[in-house]
Chains A and B, each alone.
Chain A
């Protein structure tokens, strides 16, 4: 009995990272021009508009920059905006909305089939889309920070003197987007209703854990990010309330180690989950 050969010589498969980068190429344009980007533009557009408004008020001599008799400088306001608008809101919110949808969007659009029927590991699809998420969010968030910097810092401050802080802020936000994205990529890959879980994590768990003394805060991302904020907050002011959050912060090195660890572990868990999960498309 003769049998026909089943398999031809198999070509060399692209490596895991090479596969991920090719998925990135395929996905980044679609992700950038998706409806989600409009939402992202609105989120990062708000601080830009606020900064222009503040600059206008300052030019008109409005006394809103006097807090408890202290005049707030541009760099101090910029630092406050980085913390309040970006680090505590924009970065985690974008992480939730994008991270949880890395695979979910493809499943909802039913385009996931094309990626899962190619000779690449499914996990590489997730990693490629994670890279696309980073590219999209960096492309929108970081320029908006630079615009806010240019608008706010010259108010009783110097652009040159604060430039190093700007670079640190940009790095901090990039790390925040990367780590939150990895955490929510895992939540998106593992759980049903990931958006709800993500929002509860950001606005429930992280806020509560940071407010309580003890070890709970170590189970948040924000705890490690706050150690890297380069700005000193003014004392004797309303702002000092916020500064309270900065107490008990870990060292910079320790924070970087933990954030790297969180990023790698959650990204790996997300990839493993995508690799093993079956996706049933709606008929």
Chain B
């Protein structure tokens, strides 16, 4: 039996009167694990606790067998990609990743090589000398991934790494995460979209209202999702043209309804797998204009959680 990469025992975290995490006892095994829950469920609090950014109000958190709070040495083995879209905007991608990995004790030359390698891995080498401030949302997500993996950590902790990416970037990143998992890295990845998590791993932790509801195989709850409509927000150069294609396509029975928002179309689908596959193909073809951003609000997942909690 393999030793867990993360263990928490009766961990609670309060922010003043607000509870972020409530008496969570969990063991995360090696491999890829998805942390799934709606916004405000406690995912980010969990991520911050297991990366030592927050101290538990109660209980203990161990990562790779050691307490993480005030134990910076562990970060030789951990790479963290945070949720927030925050950078030193004036730096180029290469400068930023290189400066961060220098904090791991690498020499200038080693840091330069490692940063170049990481940027290559996430497909950003061509934009390495561009300022981060000029990066698209997808590129910003990828440069965050690069800084997380630049020191070749054993454990990667990724907080909503696909948020705001375009369909192609999303597909590439999912493939990267699966590859890293196959290469022997342990990965904890959070999302509020079951479809995303499911495409990376079958091992999930379900979290809601600060509690772990379930852990184990994603397929056990997979069927539930089809009973609930899934909403997808697609920001595109020409949302009307895109919408026409959603409805005209012969396989268009995956779209239940759609509505327009400024610069975007919001689609309700009963078959998220089919819809996402179709969207990716449309983005790759390029004939329907640029698809800039795809996000999914969490209300569909919330419905599943409400069902589970009942």
Contact = CB atoms under 8 A, between A and B. Distances in A.
Contacts of B90: 29-30, 33
A2 B3 CA distance: 9
A175 to B, nearest CB: 30
A254 interface: no
Interface stretch (A47-55, A119-127, A214-222): A119-127
A11 B76 contact: yes
B70 A275 contact: yes
B147 interface: yes
Contacts of B99: 22, 25-26
B78 interface: yes
A113 interface: yes
B77 A8 contact: yes
Given A119-B72, A120-B72, A113 B103 contact: no
A22 B103 contact: yes
Interface string B40-81: 000010000001111100000000111000101111111010
Contact of B76 (A1, A110, A119, A281): A119
Contacts of B154: 7-8
A121 B73 CA distance: 8
B1 A3 contact: yes
A118 B44 contact: no
Contacts of A1: 1
Contacts of B80: 113, 117
A110 B54 CA distance: 14
A4 B87 CA distance: 36
Interface residues of B, number: 39
Contact of A111 (B15, B55, B87): B87
B103 A120 contact: yes
Contacts of B82: 110, 113-114, 117
Contacts of B73: 10, 13, 119
Interface string B197-235: 000000000000000000000000000000000000000
A11 B104 contact: yes
Interface string A265-283: 0000000000110111101
Report whether over half of chain A's contact residues are helix, strand or loop; otherwise say mixed: loop
Contact of A117 (B30, B66, B78): B78
Nearest to A279: B53
B53 A116 contact: yes
Contacts of A281: 84
Given A4-B2, A120-B72, A280-B54, A110 B84 contact: yes
A19 B105 CA distance: 8
B88 interface: yes
B88 A14 contact: no
Interface string B259-300: 000000000000000000000000000000000000000000
B77 A7 contact: yes
Given A119-B105, A278-B53, A26 B100 contact: yes
B116 to A, nearest CB: 18
Nearest to B73: A119
Interface residues of A, number: 41
B86 A110 contact: yes
Interface string A58-93: 000000000000000000000000000000000000
B117 interface: no
A209 to B, nearest CB: 36
Contacts of A121: 72
B75 A119 contact: yes
Interface in A1-40: 1-4, 6-8, 10-14, 18-19, 22-23, 25-26, 29-30, 33
B86 A109 contact: yes
B158 to A, nearest CB: 12
Most A CB within 10 A of own CB, among B72, B73, B91:
B72
Most B CB within 10 A of own CB, among A22, A110, A283:
A22
Nearest to A19: B103
Interface in A112-149: 113-122
Nearest to B184: A4
Most B CB within 10 A of own CB, among A7, A23, A118:
A118
Contacts of B105: 11-14, 18, 119
Given A7-B64, A33-B90, A122 B1 contact: no
Nearest to B154: A8
A117 B30 CA distance: 20
Interface of A: 1-4, 6-8, 10-14, 18-19, 22-23, 25-26, 29-30, 33, 109-111, 113-122, 275-276, 278-281, 283
15 contacts: A1-B1, A6-B65, A7-B154, A8-B154, A18-B105, A22-B99, A25-B102, A30-B88, A30-B91, A110-B84, A117-B75, A119-B73, A119-B74, A120-B72, A276-B70
Given A7-B77, A117-B75, A275-B70, 11 more contacts: A6-B3, A6-B65, A10-B77, A11-B105, A25-B102, A26-B103, A30-B88, A113-B80, A276-B70, A278-B53, A279-B53
